[in-house]
Amino acid sequence: MNHLNQYVLSVKVENKTGVLARVVGLFSARGYSIDSLSVSKTQHDDVSVITIVVKGDDRVIEQVKKQLNKLIDIIKVTDHTTVSSAQREIAMIKLQLSPVKRVEIFQIAQTFNAEIIDLSQKTITFQIVGPPNKVENFIDIMRPYGIKELIRSGRISFLRESHNL
Amino acid sequence: MKMKGARIIVESLLKEGVEHMFGYPGGVVIPIFHELFDAPLNFVLSRHEQGAIHAADGYARACGKPGIVLATSGPGATNLITGLATAYMDSIPLVVLTGQVSTEMIGNDAFQEADVTGITRPVTKHNYLVQDVRDLAKTIKEAFYIATTGRPGPVLIDIPVNISNAETEYIYPETVEIRSYKPNYKGHPVQITKAVEMIAASKKPVVYAGGGIILSEASKELQEFIRKTGIPITTTLLGMGAYPETDELSLEMLGMHGTYYANHAVHESDLLIAIGARFDDRVTGKITEFIPHAKVIHIDIDPASVSKNVVVDIPIVGDCKTVLKDLNKKVIAPDIDEWVKHVKAMKKDNPLFYEDVEDVIKPQYVIERIYELTKGDSIIATEVGQNQMWAAQFYKYTQPRTFISSGGLGTMGFGLPAAIGAQIAYPDKQVFNIAGDGSIQMNIQELIVAVQLRLPVVIAILNNGFLGMVRQWQQLFYDKRYSSTCLECSPDFVKLAEAYGAIGIRVEKKSDVDAAIKEAISQTQIPVVIDFRVDREENVYPMVPAGKSVKDIIMRELA
């Protein structure tokens, strides 16, 4: 297999039944699994944006982008892989809360601006928001403390007007 | 005016100018059939939904209008899948209506329920599930628009039975506006200018024309382009008829079973002008050795076809006809006398060949006789396999829409229903179904449709008792282990024809071939099945083995 690069695609679509299935079908038909996916409405109720993170062969992804553009309900496909864009993700992460490590955990969370969204006798749950590498980093650092549960939102990506950020 | 959904469907079809439609009834489409009962359009009742959709496809390929299909939910719809995939691969416009269980039952595993929009998503250009009767007319209008514009293709509308029974005000929209679907017809002028320059500077150009020429009705423009430039032209299987194969600049078909001269000319070329073709693997063979010396101009309406398999130097995204018209205004003939002389010499020295003998019937001989005896004026619908390749090689196509064949998907069982569809489009034309003894059995039930409608389709079975193309591969590449390709037990095709009420003729001697064809084409009210007992182990040559290049072309049987 050829070398696979990670792509971030932003797909603006008509908010209609079956659109998501059409979009992801183009990836699954090629045996590509999607690393992350996020879908929601925009300021227009009838338009949604699908953000897809996927690893693939350059030529195949080029082909998929053309195929996406061909789908009737797709309004626009934008490749955010190499352009200046703000990419964000949310993770919620539940940890074992042993009294010995409590302060340590709190300090790390503070450094990352992670918010506590749940606290119980035995567990603590943080929410972290940020660029994917920050979220990734936080998860890696928290791993040794014993992650009980972890969910991630999937990435969203916004093109910047300015190119110097 | 208020109408039931079922009535809206029929009215909308009439608005679209539908004259013929193909299909099969079932539970959830009874309301639609109820309205069709006295509607002023011809409903062709197939004997299997697959037959209906291939007939609609053959109709569309023959006359250029979209083929219309109606089938019921569940098994009715799933029986259409092969037909949808066939049409999708070859970009044939179809509007396919399927019934669905009532909206409130969807997802409950209701009787004859299947997720048809889900199943058909990868094999349709677009599909719809109608969830509100008020959307029905607009959906039908859009379906016709999408099926027939841009790169054409099948569009399916899944209609729950309660939608067919619900009432609403009927207004058929005059126009369609889909903000996310705006096919581009006109080629970019800068690209066209670049193409003109590249053509003028070329020394060894070849035109490679495909089904896009037929679909966009660009045959005349293509011929003008060739006349102005003097460039030799080869076509794909689906492009046959786009340019007269009887012309001296025609190299006929290229690819796996294409002519020696087409394949070699393309291989030696310094410029390949692809028009409405998509560099299929059956055309290119080993892609890295396909055109070692050539630059590529690619004219195609589908941006996704450009640089998909072959890197293109000058892409021109647009409709073949529109682009060729623009190109013809500016094109400058290149100085290629030497090249054309060389290509013509290759053509003269390496013609299509088979060893004709007196004691057995060669399948190629049958095709040649059909060509001669019908003066090349028939519509030929083929099955898939050796019969298809011989029909492509040994009949010379001079008109678009006269060769009807499943190219991309390679669907056995396509030919007979497609021939029926073509005959319905052109009642006065001679239509042949060139078949093998294998593929004819895949949709033989449709024979009764031809009998019922008095369609004088001639079904020429090249009967070799084998699934011949696979047997050929087994002979050449799999140590002659003829695994499951010998059809030791087949029906008596003459009796079978008679059982259906058709005429059956068996031909076992070469000297009887002409008489049988003449007898068959003299019929005007009844289909004829001719069982040609041909040489059992004849192979299709030339052959560029799969994944190989033109250097590995096999020209004839090795001793």
Strand intervals (E) in chain A: 5-14, 34-41, 47-56, 74-79, 85-96, 115-119, 123-130, 147-152, 156-159
If asked whether residues A89 and A155 sit together in one domain, one would say yes
Helices B513-521, B363-373: inter-axial angle, 10-degree rounding = 40
Domain boundary among A79, A101, A118: A79
Kindly report the nearest CA distance between residue A73 and chain B, in angstroms: 6
User: Which pTM does this prediction carry?
Assistant: 0.96
Is the per-residue pLDDT at B422 higher than 80? yes
Kindly report the nearest CA distance between residue B469 and chain A, in angstroms: 28
On whether any CB of chain B is under 8 Å from the CB of A25, the answer is yes
Q: Sort B218 into a burial class: Cβ within 10 Å, 0-12 / 13-18 / 19+.
A: buried
Q: pLDDT tens for residues B496-538? A: 999 999 999 999 999 999 999 999 999 999 999 999 999 999 9
If asked whether residues A52 and A96 sit together in one domain, one would say no
User: Cα separation of B448 and B499, whole Å?
Assistant: 10
Nearest by CB: B304 against A22, A70, A74: A70
Q: pLDDT tens for residues B330-385? A: 999 999 999 999 999 999 999 999 999 999 999 999 999 999 999 999 999 999 99
For chains A and B, CB pairs below 8 A equal: 39
Cα B218 to its chain centre, rounded Å, is 17
User: Do the beta carbons of residue B324 and residue B192 sit within 8 Å?
Assistant: no
Q: Which residues contact B481 (CB under 8 A, 6 or more apart)?
A: B474
Q: Which residue has the tokens 């011989």?
A: B390
Q: For residue B401, what are its two tokens?
A: 């829409």
Residue A55 domain flag = yes
For chain B, give every residue range classified as CATH 3.40.50.1220. Answer: 189-349
Count CB neighbours of A37 within 10 A: 17
Question: Closest-CA residue in chain B for A75?
Answer: B180
pLDDT for B557 equals 82
If asked whether residues A67 and A91 sit together in one domain, one would say no
pLDDT for B488 equals 85
Q: For residue B181, what are its two tokens?
A: 């679907």
pLDDT for B115 equals 98
Q: Which residue has the tokens 């059939």?
A: B33
Domain boundary among A60, A79, A98: A79
Please state the CATH superfamily assignment of the domain spanning residues B2-169 in this structure: Thiamin diphosphate (ThDP)-binding fold, Pyr/PP domains (3.40.50.970)
Kindly report the nearest CA distance between residue A83 and chain B, in angstroms: 22
Q: What's the CATH code of the domain at A115?
A: 3.30.70.1150
User: Cα separation of B95 and B80, whole Å?
Assistant: 12
Mutate to test the interface with B, among A46, A59, A66 (most CBs of B within 10 A): A66
Q: pLDDT tens for residues A19-43? A: 999 999 999 998 888 999 999 999 9
On whether any CB of chain A is under 8 Å from the CB of B146, the answer is yes
The alpha-carbon radius of gyration of chain A (Å, integer) is 19
Name the domain count of chain A.
2
User: Cα separation of B473 and B11, whole Å?
Assistant: 51
Kindly report the nearest CA distance between residue B182 and chain A, in angstroms: 9
pLDDT > 90 in chain B, percent: 98
Kindly report the nearest CA distance between residue A161 and chain B, in angstroms: 24
On whether any CB of chain B is under 8 Å from the CB of A67, the answer is yes
- Mean predicted lDDT score pLDDT of chain B: 97
pLDDT for A162 equals 79
pLDDT for B520 equals 98
Q: pLDDT tens for residues B343-355? A: 999 999 999 999 9
Pairwise CB contact (< 8 Å): B304 & A18: no
Q: pLDDT tens for residues B290-313? A: 999 999 999 999 999 988 899 999
Q: What's the CATH code of the domain at A75?
A: 3.30.70.260
If asked whether residues A90 and A141 sit together in one domain, one would say yes
Which element (helix H / strand E) includes B168? strand B167-169
Backbone conformation region of residue B412, classed left if phi is above 0, alpha if psi is from -120 to 50, else beta: beta
Is the per-residue pLDDT at B443 higher than 80? yes
On whether any CB of chain A is under 8 Å from the CB of B122, the answer is yes
User: Cα separation of A153 and A88, whole Å?
Assistant: 9
Pairwise CB contact (< 8 Å): A22 & B178: no
At A99, the pLDDT band (50, 70, 90 cuts) reads confident
Q: For residue B139, what are its two tokens?
A: 């959906």
Average pLDDT over residues B113-137: 98
Domain boundary among A62, A79, A96: A79
On whether any CB of chain A is under 8 Å from the CB of B256, the answer is no
Q: Which of the two residues, A98 and B493, has the higher pLDDT score?
A: B493
Q: Provide φ and ψ at B20, rounded to 5°.
A: -130, 140
At A3, the pLDDT band (50, 70, 90 cuts) reads confident
Backbone conformation region of residue B479, classed left if phi is above 0, alpha if psi is from -120 to 50, else beta: left
Is the per-residue pLDDT at A1 higher than 60? no
Pairwise CB contact (< 8 Å): B180 & A72: yes
Q: Which residues contact B351 (CB under 8 A, 6 or more apart)?
A: none
Nearest by CB: A72 against B117, B118, B126: B126
For chain B, give every residue range classified as CATH 3.40.50.970. Answer: 2-169, 363-540
On whether any CB of chain B is under 8 Å from the CB of A162, the answer is no
Q: Which of B167, B178, B115, B116 is nearest to B141 (CA)?
A: B178
If asked whether residues A116 and A146 sit together in one domain, one would say yes
Enumerate long-range contacts of A59-68, CB under 8 Å, 24 or more apart: A60/A30, A60/A32, A61/A5, A61/A7, A62/B307, A63/B304, A63/B308, A64/A26, A64/A27, A64/A30, A65/A9, A66/B303, A66/B304, A66/B306, A66/B308, A67/A26, A67/B304, A68/A9, A68/A11, A68/A23, A68/A26
Nearest by CB: A73 against B117, B131, B180: B180
Q: pLDDT tens for residues B57-99? A: 999 999 999 999 999 999 999 999 999 999 999 999 999 999 9
Is the per-residue pLDDT at A72 higher than 80? yes
Pairwise CB contact (< 8 Å): A75 & B179: yes
pLDDT > 70 in chain A, percent: 97
Paired with B42 in beta bridges are: B20
Kindly report the nearest CA distance between residue B554 and chain A, in angstroms: 31
Q: How far apart are the first and last CA of chain A?
A: 35
Residue A127 domain flag = yes
Cα A99 to its chain centre, rounded Å, is 32
Is the per-residue pLDDT at B559 higher than 70? no
On whether any CB of chain A is under 8 Å from the CB of B125, the answer is yes
Kindly report the nearest CA distance between residue A9 and chain B, in angstroms: 17
Q: Which residues contact B4 (CB under 8 A, 6 or more apart)?
A: B31, B35, B164, B165, B166, B167
At A164, the pLDDT band (50, 70, 90 cuts) reads low
On whether any CB of chain A is under 8 Å from the CB of B118, the answer is yes
ipTM: 0.90
Pairwise CB contact (< 8 Å): B304 & A63: yes
If asked whether residues A133 and A153 sit together in one domain, one would say yes
Pairwise CB contact (< 8 Å): A69 & B304: yes
The CATH number that domain B363-540 falls under is: 3.40.50.970
Count CB neighbours of B358 within 10 A: 8
Question: Closest-CA residue in chain B for A67?
Answer: B304
pLDDT for A59 equals 87
Q: How far apart are the first and last CA of chain B?
A: 75
If asked whether residues A69 and A106 sit together in one domain, one would say no
User: Which residues of chain B does A25 touch, with a Cβ-Cβ cutoff of 8 Å?
Assistant: 121-122
Pairwise CB contact (< 8 Å): B117 & A18: yes
Nearest by CB: A74 against B180, B302, B304: B180
- DSSP secondary structure letters along B41-61: SEEEE-SSHHHHHHHHHHHHH
The alpha-carbon radius of gyration of chain B (Å, integer) is 24
Mutate to test the interface with B, among A15, A63, A72, A78 (most CBs of B within 10 A): A72
User: Which residues of chain A does B141 touch, with a Cβ-Cβ cutoff of 8 Å?
Assistant: none
Q: Which of B466, B465, B472 is nearest to B485 (CA)?
A: B466
Kindly report the nearest CA distance between residue B352 and chain A, in angstroms: 37
3-state secondary structure at position A123: strand
Is the per-residue pLDDT at A123 higher than 90? yes
Pairwise CB contact (< 8 Å): B125 & A72: yes
Count CB neighbours of B162 within 10 A: 17
If asked whether residues A68 and A100 sit together in one domain, one would say no
Residue A164 domain flag = no
The CATH number that domain B189-349 falls under is: 3.40.50.1220
On whether any CB of chain A is under 8 Å from the CB of B180, the answer is yes
The domain containing residue A52 runs over which residues? 5-79
Question: Closest-CA residue in chain B for A68?
Answer: B304
If asked whether residues A67 and A119 sit together in one domain, one would say no
Average pLDDT over residues B214-225: 98
User: Which residues of chain B does A73 touch, with a Cβ-Cβ cutoff of 8 Å?
Assistant: 180
Q: Sort A87 into a burial class: Cβ within 10 Å, 0-12 / 13-18 / 19+.
A: middle
Average pLDDT over residues B227-235: 98
Question: Closest-CA residue in chain A for B145?
Answer: A72
User: Which residues of chain A does B178 touch, with a Cβ-Cβ cutoff of 8 Å?
Assistant: 72
Kindly report the nearest CA distance between residue A155 and chain B, in angstroms: 24
Pairwise CB contact (< 8 Å): B129 & A18: yes
If asked whether residues A152 and A89 sit together in one domain, one would say yes
